[in-house]
Amino acid sequence: MFYSLEFSFWYLLLGFILTYLVWGFIVAFEVILGMSGSKAGLAWLKKRHTYKMLYKEVTVFYPMILIGYLFLEVIPYYIFRIDPFVKFDLDKLFKELYGED
């Protein structure tokens, strides 16, 4: 009664969306930490990602990185007037991690 082709499609779609959101926020936190210039963050990215793998993840999860950047850097800057927020510069991040790739 509760299992049909239509329901399995919706379960798969929901699973895909939730996986994208969770994995995307993880990648966003990693990339924003790396963009901040943290030595631990850069070492984490360098150890766990190759250039091609990180580039593909940044391409796929770019909207999630922008949302994470908005919530972690831009909004706290304007609400609490903390130090200037980290500039959103992925080219600089890739140059710091992998040289001139």
The pTM is what? Answer: 0.81
Closest CA to 24 of 50, 52, 54, 62: 62
What confidence tens digit (pLDDT) does each residue in 52-101 have?
999 999 999 999 999 999 998 888 888 988 777 788 888 989 998 888 65
Question: What distance in Å separates the CA atoms of residue 44 and residue 94, rounded to the nearest whole number?
Answer: 13
DSSP string across 11-40: HHHHHHHHHHHHHHHHHHHHHHHHHTT-HH
Domain ranges of the chain: 20-95
Predicted confidence (pLDDT) at residue 3 exceeds the cutoff of 70? no
Question: What distance in Å separates the CA atoms of residue 54 and residue 35, rounded to the nearest whole number?
Answer: 13
